[in-house]
Amino acid sequence: MKRKRNEQEPIPDPEHLTEEERVAGERAKLLFKTLRNETFSPDEKDALWNQVGETISQRKQRSFNTFWIAAAASVTLLLLAGVGYLVFYKDTARTMQEFAARGANGPDETQLILGDKRVISLRKENSSVEYKDNGALIQVDSSSTIDQQMAGDQQFNTLVVPYGKRSVLTLADGTRIWLNSGSKLVYPSQFDTRRREVYLEGQAYFSVKHSEDVPFHVYTRDMEVRVLGTEFDVSAYADDDYTATVLTKGSVELTGQSQSFFGSKKMKITPGTRAVYDQQRAALQTEQVDVQEYVSWKDGYLVLNSAPLTEILKKLSRYYRVDIILKQPKLAGVRFGGTLDLQENIRDILEAVSVTTGLNYKQQPNERRYVLEESTIKP
């Protein structure tokens, strides 16, 4: 508002004012000029100024604090959400991975390790474990049953299948898992309501019971396989430099494990596809394959279509828990085809291999060790 100076007009309505009134006004004006004002002492004035400054800096501090507290709070929330995500999802995998590392290595017999650390030995070469009654009852080798206490917190069971043994696991949700020799599977004693998660080391064939709302996750060191319900094989042996998934039917979604950083890019594969994660190249690649070659082991035979000899021998040594040494390394890459019946014993198998490859095999005395070499005597 602009201020008007009206020194000459101190009285509101000059025309209505009498001379006396005007004079009274002038006098009043004069009087008001004599008013003595309360004054600050310089100290008071400075003190008040300092107080103002203090309050302002406090407010600034406060609003600064408020800003940072708010900022920190949101960041913390995000972090917590992130950590929570990791804890809830990734760390189930990680926890299971730790369990797998902890689990007995190389026992002679198949072992079922329960959440309460009870260890059940399964003597059969091809054992079976079946969870019934929502996981509270475990039937082992269709003969004995075990009660499992369901603890409130998440507990894990581990099935360890040594070389030379196999096991078929039926989970409470009806999912069947064939575990090949030299494999470990870690799984919760009871599945979460939102997702079913297992961790695999070695090879397993999964026949996952379909559940639209509860996806099934197979974690391995390098790969995560997510399915709703389908059949597929996962091979993730620690001594192989690759992890592979072969899909029999349905569809699966593959994700690289976060540790390996080959991108959290998801990949969907269709039946007949083999997806291989190569550790050295840190890359996920797919190829069309004869599925039988990769999954026939669960039915007790090995289908080979032009497989490198080393691959064949590796599979055999796992399956039969024997060492097979190839004396002439140059033969490693030579490919062979055929079908091997895994019900037969290793000697019969090696006999068959020898015949096909034109090699001889020798058994080392008192050892589960065989040597495959070129015949010195040509047939």
Nearer to another protein, 38 or 239 (CB): 38
Smallest gap from residue 66 Cβ to another protein (A): 14
Q: What are phi and psi of 58, to 5 degrees?
A: -65, -45
Tell me whether residue 63 or residue 145 sits nearer to another protein (CB atom). Answer: 63
Tell which residue, 241, 243, 265, has the closest CA to residue 253: 265
Considering the complex, state which of residue 13 and residue 153 has its C-beta at the smaller distance from another protein.
Answer: 13
- Give 132's contacts (C-beta < 8 A, 6+ positions apart): 138, 139, 145, 172
In the complex with another protein, which residue's Cβ is closer, 52 or 119? 52
Q: List beta partners, residue 254.
A: 225, 267
The residue among 40 and 64 lying less far from another protein, judged by its C-beta, is 40
Residue-wise burial string across 211-241, b where 16 or more C-beta atoms lie within 10 A, e elsewhere: beebbbbbbbbbbbbbbbbbbbbbbbbeeee
Smallest gap, in angstroms, from Cβ of residue 74 to another protein?
Answer: 25
Classify 152 as helix, strand or coil.
coil
Between CA 188 and CA 195 the distance in angstroms is: 11
Nearest CB to another protein, comparing residues 46 and 116: 46
Q: Which is nearer to another protein, 52 or 81 (CB)?
A: 52
Q: Which amino acid is at 8?
A: Q
CB 315 within 8 A of CB 335: no
d(Cα 351, Cα 125) in Å, to the nearest integer? 22
Minimum distance of another protein from residue 15's CB (angstroms): 11
We find the least distance from the C-beta atom of residue 67 to another protein, in angstroms, to be 15
d(CA 98, CA 91): 10
User: Phi and psi (nearest 5°) for 286?
Assistant: -125, 155
What minimum distance in Å lies between the beta carbon of 64 and another protein? 14
Tell me what percent of the chain is helix, strand and coil, each rounded to the nearest 5. Answer: 30, 35, 35
Q: Give the nearer residue to another protein in terms of CB position, either 29 or 327.
A: 29
Q: How buried is 77 (Cβ within 10 angstroms: 0-12 exposed, 13-18 middle, 19+ buried)? A: exposed
Is the distance from CB of 224 to CB of 196 less than 8 angstroms? no
Q: Rounded distance, CA 236 to CA 163, Å?
A: 14
CB-nearer residue toward another protein: 11 or 168: 11
Residues 6+ apart with CB under 8 A from 164: 125, 181, 319, 320, 321, 322
**Least Å distance between CB 65 and another protein?**
16
Return the number of the residue (11 or 238) whose C-beta is nearest another protein.
11
Which residues share a beta bridge with 198? Answer: 218
Binding residues for another protein (CB under 8 A): 1-6, 10-13, 16-18, 20-25, 27-40, 44-45, 48-49, 51-52, 55-56, 59
Return d(Cα 25, Cα 46) in angstroms, integer. Answer: 38
